[in-house]
């Protein structure tokens, strides 16, 4: 009888300890995630696609859609010929810097960046934004049949647009991710239909908007390699190497260099330096970061190496640039 009591007591103690440990895990929250609503404290979701849809004789090739949380700034970058990116902010706050002009990002903001439009995104430290994005490229099947005033014509004339969404794009985005997550019967039919609706609603949003700019005429369609390149420099600018990029693209080092030069007009080192320097300017706005800490974030071996690179790129020292941010008359 005593042995039975001992065994029961042992199991009760064991289960109590496990339950206590689980409770501790549940209430131990990452300090950064405390700032986010529960539905935002999840991983980013990115789907690589190869979906074609046609509107008014213009083919849209959708290569990528994503839902992302921005906990750190996204450096200045642009997309190549024929490439567009649609951005929709469902939650949080931040700023978008487009061709040197700053725009506030709030829930419900929609903006689109076309070929060669330089843009960077800066999340609010207290309420970092989330974003749905669709990356796509265009190909006109017959330019003569794209008549003035058509949906495609209105779309092609917009190089950049920003404003409040009035077409409930957020609902379509949620449906898209639902279809791609669960993959029920006929889901790709649904995905293509939803993507086509998104593109039409984008046009309806920005018809007549005062922020629109002249569009660069699209050229030949470039394949998904450009998306790989742009994401590599955007998210891995600190550590990316030419060899790793070439391996990811399935090209030789020499072919990769030629591709970069032909499509972007820049070498690998120029692209990498541009991305790092753009990030450096953003980090310099944060007074809590020292020059040494910024150099470490950008993967420079020493702060001297970083300051030398910054001065060579911008013609001004990092310290002087930071002082000018505080006192423009300096």
**Look-up: residue for tokens 């693209």?**
249
If we measure between CA atoms, which residue out of 137, 94, 113, 309 comes closest to residue 212?
113
Which part of the chain has CATH 2.60.120.280? Answer: 39-206
Q: Determine phi and psi for 165, rounding to 5 degrees.
A: -75, 125
Tell me what pLDDT residue 322 has: 86
Tell me what pLDDT residue 171 has: 93
Tell me what pLDDT residue 185 has: 94
Tell me what pLDDT residue 218 has: 38
pLDDT in tens, the chain (330 residues): 455 554 444 544 544 443 443 433 333 333 332 233 323 334 689 898 888 888 777 788 898 999 999 888 888 888 877 788 999 999 999 999 888 788 999 999 999 998 888 888 888 888 999 999 999 887 655 444 555 666 666 666 677 889 899 899 999 999 999 999 999 999 999 999 999 999 888 888 877 444 444 333 333 334 567 767 877 887 787 888 999 888 888 888 898 898 888 877 889 998 888 888 888 887 888 888 899 999 998 889 898 999 999 888 888 898 888 888 776 555
Rounded Cα–Cα distance for residues 75 and 277 (Å): 8
Rounded Cα–Cα distance for residues 47 and 239 (Å): 24
Which part of the chain has CATH 1.10.10.60? Answer: 249-326
User: Taking the CA atoms of the chain, what radius of gyration do you get in angstroms?
Assistant: 24
Structural tokens at position 57: 């004789």
Looking at domain 39-206, its CATH class is mainly beta
Q: What is the CATH number of domain 249-326?
A: 1.10.10.60
If we measure between CA atoms, which residue out of 126, 98, 92 comes closest to residue 111?
98
Long-range contacts for 46-51 (Cβ within 8 Å, ≥24 apart)?
Answer: 47/177, 47/180, 48/224, 49/191, 50/224, 51/188, 51/191, 51/192, 51/195
Through-space distance between the first and last CA atoms of the chain, rounded to whole angstroms: 86
């Amino acid at each position: 009888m005593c042995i039975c009591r001992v065994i029961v007591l042992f199991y009760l103690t064991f289960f109590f300890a496990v339950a206590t440990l689980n409770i501790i895990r549940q209430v131990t929250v990452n300090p950064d995630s405390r700032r986010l609503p529960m539905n935002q404290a999840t991983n980013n979701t990115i789907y690589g696609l190869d979906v074609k849809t046609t509107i008014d004789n213009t083919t849209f090739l959708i290569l990528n859609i994503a839902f992302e949380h921005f906990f750190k700034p996204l450096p200045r970058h642009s997309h190549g010929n024929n490439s567009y990116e649609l951005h929709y902010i469902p939650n949080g706050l931040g700023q978008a810097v487009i061709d040197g002009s700053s725009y506030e990002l709030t829930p419900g903001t929609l903006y689109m960046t076309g070929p060669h439009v330089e843009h960077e995104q800066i999340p609010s430290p207290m309420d970092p934004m989330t974003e749905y994005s669709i990356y796509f490229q265009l190909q006109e099947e017959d330019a003569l049949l794209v008549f003035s005033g058509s949906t495609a014509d209105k779309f092609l004339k917009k190089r950049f647009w920003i404003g409040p969404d009035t077409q409930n794009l957020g609902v379509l985005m949620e449906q898209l991710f639902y279809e791609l997550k669960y993959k029920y019967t006929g889901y790709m039919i649904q995905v293509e239909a939803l993507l086509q609706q998104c593109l039409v609603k984008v046009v309806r949003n920005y018809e007549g908007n005062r922020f629109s700019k002249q569009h660069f005429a699209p050229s030949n369609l470039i394949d998904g390699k450009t998306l790989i390149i742009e994401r590599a420099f955007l998210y891995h600018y600190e550590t990316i190497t030419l060899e790793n990029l070439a391996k990811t693209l399935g090209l030789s080092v020499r072919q990769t260099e030629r591709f970069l030069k032909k499509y972007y007009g820049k070498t690998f080192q120029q692209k990498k330096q541009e991305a790092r320097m753009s990030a450096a300017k953003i980090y310099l706005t944060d007074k809590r970061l020292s020059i040494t800490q910024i150099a470490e974030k950008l993967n420079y071996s020493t702060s001297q190496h970083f300051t030398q690179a910054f001065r060579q790129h911008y013609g001004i020292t990092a310290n002087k640039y930071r002082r000018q941010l505080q006192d423009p008359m300096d």
